[in-house]
Amino acid sequence: MVKEEGRVYIFDTTLRDGEQSPGISLNAREKLEIAEQLARLGVDVIEAGFPITSQGDFEAVKSIAERVKGPVITGLARCVDKDIDRAWEALQGAERPRIHVFISTSDIHIERKLRKTREEVLEMAVAAVKRAKGYCDDVEFSPEDATRTDFDYLVGVVKLAIESGATTINIPDTVGYATPDEFGKLIADLKTAVPELNDVILSVHCHNDLGLAVANSLSAIASGATQVECAVNGLGERAGNAALEEIVMILDTRAATIGRRTNIRTEEISRTSKLVMTLTGYAVQRNKAIVGANAFAHSSGIHTDGILKERLTYEIIDPKSIGLEQGAVILGKTSGRHAFRAHLAEMGFTLTEEELERAFDRFKVLADKKAEIADADLEAIVADEVRTATDIYSLEYIKTASSTDSTPMATVRLKKNGTLFEETTEGDGQVDAVCKAIGRLTGVDAKLVRYDVSAITGSLDAQGDVTVELEIDGRVFIGRGVSTDIIEASARAYLNAVNKALSR
């Protein structure tokens, strides 16, 4: 990657660090769908996964490498031979491959986690960069927990990594410990101590444990960082990573002050955020900057009056600049497959024929229930079909009965490998009865950790969007389902989480 003056490169780690958030378990088809949208968004680098961790992650990285064009595709590897070999095996079909190697460099990590010496870590880092360089020209090196690493030792590691062939040096604030002034100074001091950093991409990866990931990233940019590692909606371990949409829109909105730019197509931000929310099951808070439901909402009389007179009175970002087209009504019940397919293509979705047929069938059912269908409805339907395309069990039929003086009952019919299974169960309510029936049919004993319901659009005939978190065999799985019927949406969400558990 050749550095451009004034450019900040966006490295997206939604599919790697983001997927490490508790309960998220994306399959290869879901990861590919997100990667294709990230390419449309215009990110420079997609960290597609950690190939050594599982066969599923390997297959996902391999599929993305072979099919997604434009961005650099990278896979993560520890400074271990088998990790690097496996990463290259997954990445070798990429148009622009990169191997990203990392090793801990803080004393607490070296002594307590790695149980090695500083000298051994240096040797491992050099060997790893050289091995990766033997596979491809583009190699990134990260000294994990850099902000708690002895500065002189960090300088030595970085110098050796560059000498060994690293083309990107990434400085992670792994535990979100730094403050903006400290992190900016660290980047500036490193550039002074290691002049060779001017010849490579200098990257930062900030975590949000103290709520400072975006601020630290901006401070690093001001000190000369040329790449920011971030995730859509700020997903990631613990409190998450720097939010991609916030970094991008700060640089865009304050371009005259900051003087740095990205190549992101900002009008794709809203769609990307919604897709990631839908497929991961992780919703953002309503007041989340840029992509929250309230980000462009105005309630105060003074604010509303000002907005009606002049948008700039209370909005510093035009909603259209991130792809928000409020109230856009599209297809109806008379629309055919051709119009449906064409509109999905305009929205950026590419479905197989089987997925298209299932989505179209869902659309026609919805069109009979809703007079007006918005893009948000279609996004929910398509994401639901992508999410359930590889499910072991599929939902075929639900019948519920309930009244104030009788015990709620539910009959549920599932399909597995072409065979139908049916169960009738009682419960505390209709949703409880449905979920119990699914549990009996699949043989999965689950504990409900969280149950959330929201509306996809604002009308009374809106589709319900249900998210559940289930604890199954000590692990948490997130499921999501949509339908105009809340009971059906709940069944879809519950079954989605169960299917994820069975797939693992």
**The pLDDT value given to residue 458:** 66
Mark out the alpha helices in 299-408 (DSSP H runs). Answer: 301-309, 337-346, 353-369, 375-388
Q: Is the pTM of this model over 0.75?
A: yes
Mark out the alpha helices in 164-268 (DSSP H runs). Answer: 180-193, 213-222, 244-253, 255-258
Asked whether residue 260 falls in the same domain as residue 360, the answer is no
Instruction: With respect to residue 49, please indicate whether it lies within any of the assigned structural domains.
Output: yes
Asked whether residue 368 falls in the same domain as residue 260, the answer is no
Q: Residue 27 sits in a domain of what CATH number?
A: 3.20.20.70
- Total domains, the chain: 4
Q: Residue 447 sits in a domain of what CATH number?
A: 3.30.160.270
Question: Using CA atoms, how far apart are residues 450 and 283, in angstroms rounded to an integer?
Answer: 13
pLDDT tens, N- to C-terminus, the chain (504 residues): 778 889 999 999 999 999 999 888 898 888 999 999 999 999 999 999 999 999 999 999 999 999 999 999 999 999 999 999 999 999 999 999 999 999 999 999 999 999 999 999 999 999 999 999 999 999 999 999 999 999 999 999 999 999 999 999 999 999 999 999 999 999 999 999 999 999 999 999 999 999 999 999 999 999 999 999 999 999 999 999 999 999 999 999 999 999 999 999 999 999 999 999 988 989 898 899 999 878 877 544 544 455 456 666 667 888 889 988 654 445 677 778 888 888 888 777 777 888 888 888 888 888 887 767 777 788 788 877 777 777 899 999 999 999 988 999 999 999 999 999 999 999 999 999 999 999 999 999 999 999 999 887 766 677 888 999 999 999 999 998 988 899 999 999 999 999 999 987
Asked whether residue 87 falls in the same domain as residue 236, the answer is yes
Question: Using CA atoms, how far apart are residues 262 and 42, in angstroms rounded to an integer?
Answer: 9
**The pLDDT value given to residue 347:** 75
Asked whether residue 424 falls in the same domain as residue 353, the answer is no
Take residue 153 and report the two structure tokens written for it.
């030792």
Cβ atoms 480, 281 nearer than 8 A? yes
Mark out the alpha helices in 48-102 (DSSP H runs). Answer: 55-67, 81-91
**The pLDDT value given to residue 504:** 75
Question: Using CA atoms, how far apart are residues 38 and 226, in angstroms rounded to an integer?
Answer: 19
| Sign (positive or negative) of CA dihedral 363, 366, 370, 376 | negative
Question: Using CA atoms, how far apart are residues 81 and 116, in angstroms rounded to an integer?
Answer: 17
How many C-beta atoms surround the C-beta of residue 260 within 10 A?
19
List, in sequence order, every residue forming a beta bridge with 407; answer none if it has no partner: none
For 285, which DSSP code? Answer: P
> Which residues constitute the domain of residue 306?
297-323
Cβ atoms 230, 244 nearer than 8 A? yes
List, in sequence order, every residue forming a beta bridge with 140; answer none if it has no partner: 100, 168
Question: What residues have CB less than 8 Å from 338, skipping those under 6 apart?
Answer: none
**The pLDDT value given to residue 389:** 73
Q: Residue 27: helix, strand or coil by DSSP?
A: coil
Instruction: With respect to residue 237, please indicate whether it lies within any of the assigned structural domains.
Output: yes
Pairing of strands 9-12, 419-426: unpaired
Q: Tell me how long the chain is.
A: 504
Among 86, 262, 229, smallest CA distance to 146 is for 229
Among 195, 190, 220, 192, smallest CA distance to 205 is for 220
**The pLDDT value given to residue 464:** 85
Asked whether residue 48 falls in the same domain as residue 95, the answer is yes
List, in sequence order, every residue forming a beta bridge with 206; answer none if it has no partner: 173
Asked whether residue 370 falls in the same domain as residue 250, the answer is no
Asked whether residue 399 falls in the same domain as residue 451, the answer is yes
Compute φ and ψ for 150, nearest 5 degrees: -55, 130
Q: How far is CA 327 from CA 134, 191, 376, 459, 499, in A?
A: 53, 49, 10, 11, 34
**Orientation angle between helical segments 81-91 and 118-135, nearest 10 degrees:** 20
Q: How far is CA 47 from CA 128, 136, 161, 325, 341, in A?
A: 18, 16, 20, 30, 30
